[in-house]
A and B are shown apart, each in its own frame.
Chain A
Amino acid sequence: MIILYIILGILAILVIFFIGAYNGLVGLRNQTKNAWAQIDVQLKRRYDLIPNLVETVKGYQIHERETLEAVTRARNVAQQASSASVAERSKVEAELSSALARLLVVVEAYPDLKANQNFLALQEELTSTENKISFARQYYNDSVLKYNNQTQMFPSNIVAGMTGFKSGDFFEVTVTEERAAPKVKFN
């Protein structure tokens, strides 16, 4: 009789652990999905802003056709890849980021354009959208790290293996400029 109770007790503990681990994994997976949706919203916002920006800049007879075309091209490539895998997308989006950064540097040489209210508003939106993309990426990567840890570490990896939880992909930055950004130190 006692042995039966012990077995039942162990079984109950196992079931409770299983439920807890499973729910934890589901929660983390949903968090990564939600974080990914946030990135997606901001990337779409950037696609919408770029035609406006290009039009405004063109209005000022800027002799930087190549830079402008590079931005438009990168935008179209990125938009077409919007249902591709995380790794593929992070590559094309990074290219768009660097094309945009080049344009904003070039624009510095045109004081008329920089005084235009419309352009200033666009610039604020674009700067902020870039920030939001990198913050969303940051949050997404943190969430993926936590989720991956849960799926790979013992004992929750057993539950993950049984119920088919797979590790997520990080949204990596592949642009060389962004990687090589100077490291700031405070002492």
Chain B
Amino acid sequence: MWEQIRANRMRSAVLVAFMGGLLLAVGYFLGLAFLDDAYAGLIIAALVWLVMNLVAYFQGDSILLSVSGARKISQDDLPRLYNIVEEMKIASGLAKMPDIYIIDDPAPNAFAVGRSPEKASVAVTTGLLQRLNRDELQGVIGHEVAHIVNRDVLLMSLAGVLLGTIVLLAWYASRMMLYGGMSGGRKSSRSGGGGGGQAQIIILVVGLVLMILAPIAAQLLYFAISRKREYLADASSALYTRYPEGLASALEKISATPQQLRTANKATAPMFTVNPFRREGRAAADLSSTHPPISDRVRILRSMAGVSAADYERAYAKIKGRGGVVPASALKSTPESAAIRPPSGEPGEDTAARVQRTREASDAVWRTGSYKTIDCDCGTKLKVPPSLKGARVQCPHCGRIHTV
């Protein structure tokens, strides 16, 4: 795994460096155009970037989780989910068990957050828990754990903060240019010589073009980083679970559901397993998408002959017509021989299994809302809200009295 992380870092570092260069260019021209001092612009850009980074580094995961309405669960709340996460933790050799959160949302999806493998969380929606059988859920969790192991979360937040800073600065700069008048320009043409005015115009034009192009370029770079990570996480998930079909069939189920995630927004989109904003019938992935098209991901997973990274690379080359998604050093480091395992045989599609999973998921949501549940002997499950004052409740079906 080590080699893979290193190779990932190299490639992504180049892309992130490009974004950093863009930010500096924006700051430089901002300074020239408004403050008459390129360095002041650079310093402002760096300061904004630093503050945003600090917030993202220390508070990013809790902000994301609370924005998504995620609630933390324990092993007793959802043994099946907890066990599957632990299985993937063991398969990936992760040192610490990630925290598990659930989001009460019928749209099936999942994401991982956390700046390091020691401080990571996995969040899944109740819709996902309802629809997927064990093998499929394992595939999705394997994908999320792979994001944690490959340090994707940190990288994506780094790239995301850079993108955010560029967009923010460019937005303010273009508004100031259009409406605020060019105070810097006037001032310098008064103090400077005759040639200064012409240079000022050139700077302004270049600056204006940059303000328009920089956010777009940064966005494209960001998407390029993000899409590669998705393919790599798919490859790792297949390796951990030894069962690419699980993730493939999960992706298919997720893409077949009509609901859009209520709590997602543009900033959180790249975190999810599947792009939460995809529209029905849209081929959905060229340059301007955080996620590769689901149909491609499914086809690649299904045409894998084994489970190693090399198998994924070959399948990718077959579907896409060009290779190069898995770094060469990672190809060497994973064992070549591993074979696909047979399915676990847990029922996936029958109604009873689905009802059972739905019940488990909604019970867990109830409990995280600090509701108490009481199993009555007649088979009813009573849900007692935390606001209840009395010490006893009566079962509405059979009339038995329970003490809380």
> A residues within 8 Å of B by Cβ?
31, 35, 38, 42, 121, 124-125, 127-128, 131-132, 135-136, 138-139, 141-143, 145-146, 181-187
- Provide the bound-state CA to CA distance between A89 and B344, in Å: 24
Contact A187 B303 (CB under 8 A): yes
Contact A186 B302 (CB under 8 A): yes
Query: Shortest Cβ distance from A32 into chain B, in angstroms?
Result: 11
- Residue from B80, B83, B90, B334 having most chain A Cβ neighbours under 10 A: B90
5 example contacts (A-B, Cβ-Cβ < 8 A) are as follows A124-B83, A128-B83, A132-B86, A135-B90, A184-B341
Contact A184 B342 (CB under 8 A): yes
Interface: B34 (CB within 8 A): no
- Provide the bound-state CA to CA distance between A185 and B344, in Å: 15
Residues on A with beta carbons closer than 8 Å to the beta carbon of B80 = 124, 128
Contact A183 B339 (CB under 8 A): yes
Contact B86 A128 (CB under 8 A): yes
Partner of A181, one of B84, B240, B304, B341: B341
Q: Given A127-B344, A135-B87, A142-B334, 15 other A-B contacts at CB below 8 A? A: A35-B93, A38-B90, A42-B90, A124-B80, A128-B87, A136-B91, A138-B338, A139-B91, A139-B93, A142-B335, A145-B335, A181-B341, A184-B340, A184-B343, A186-B304
Q: Given A38-B90, A124-B80, A186-B303, are A138 and B339 neighbors across the interface (CB < 8 Å)?
A: no
Interface: B313 (CB within 8 A): no
Query: Shortest Cβ distance from B141 into chain A, in angstroms?
Result: 12
Contact B333 A135 (CB under 8 A): no
Contact B242 A138 (CB under 8 A): yes
Residues on B with beta carbons closer than 8 Å to the beta carbon of A31 = 93
- Provide the bound-state CA to CA distance between A42 and B88, in Å: 14
Contact B91 A138 (CB under 8 A): yes
Residues on B with beta carbons closer than 8 Å to the beta carbon of A146 = 333
B interface size (C-beta, 8 A) = 29
Contact A143 B79 (CB under 8 A): no
Residues on B with beta carbons closer than 8 Å to the beta carbon of A143 = 93
- Provide the bound-state CA to CA distance between A184 and B339, in Å: 9
Q: Given A128-B87, A186-B245, are A135 and B79 neighbors across the interface (CB < 8 Å)?
A: no
For B54-90 the 0/1 string (1 means CB < 8 A from A) is 0000000000000000000000000110011011101
Residues on A with beta carbons closer than 8 Å to the beta carbon of B242 = 138
Query: Shortest Cβ distance from B259 into chain A, in angstroms?
Result: 28
Contact B340 A128 (CB under 8 A): no
Residues on B with beta carbons closer than 8 Å to the beta carbon of A125 = 79, 83
Residues on A with beta carbons closer than 8 Å to the beta carbon of B334 = 142
Contact B93 A124 (CB under 8 A): no
Residues on A with beta carbons closer than 8 Å to the beta carbon of B91 = 135-136, 138-139
Contact A182 B86 (CB under 8 A): no
Query: Shortest Cβ distance from A53 into chain B, in angstroms?
Result: 15
Residues on B with beta carbons closer than 8 Å to the beta carbon of A121 = 79
Residues on A with beta carbons closer than 8 Å to the beta carbon of B338 = 138
Q: Given A121-B79, A135-B90, A135-B240, are A182 and B342 neighbors across the interface (CB < 8 Å)?
A: yes
- Provide the bound-state CA to CA distance between A35 and B339, in Å: 20
Residues on B with beta carbons closer than 8 Å to the beta carbon of A139 = 90-93
Residues on A with beta carbons closer than 8 Å to the beta carbon of B303 = 186-187
Contact B90 A132 (CB under 8 A): yes
Partner of A131, one of B79, B87, B333, B335: B87
Residues on B with beta carbons closer than 8 Å to the beta carbon of A187 = 302-303
Query: Shortest Cβ distance from A137 into chain B, in angstroms?
Result: 10
- Closest-by-CB residue of B relative to A34 is B93
Query: Shortest Cβ distance from B301 into chain A, in angstroms?
Result: 8
Residues on A with beta carbons closer than 8 Å to the beta carbon of B248 = 186
Q: Given A184-B343, A186-B302, are A124 and B79 neighbors across the interface (CB < 8 Å)?
A: yes
- Provide the bound-state CA to CA distance between A187 and B302, in Å: 7
Residues on B with beta carbons closer than 8 Å to the beta carbon of A183 = 339-340, 342
- Provide the bound-state CA to CA distance between A160 and B338, in Å: 27
- Closest-by-CB residue of B relative to A39 is B90
- Provide the bound-state CA to CA distance between A142 and B333, in Å: 10
Contact B342 A181 (CB under 8 A): yes
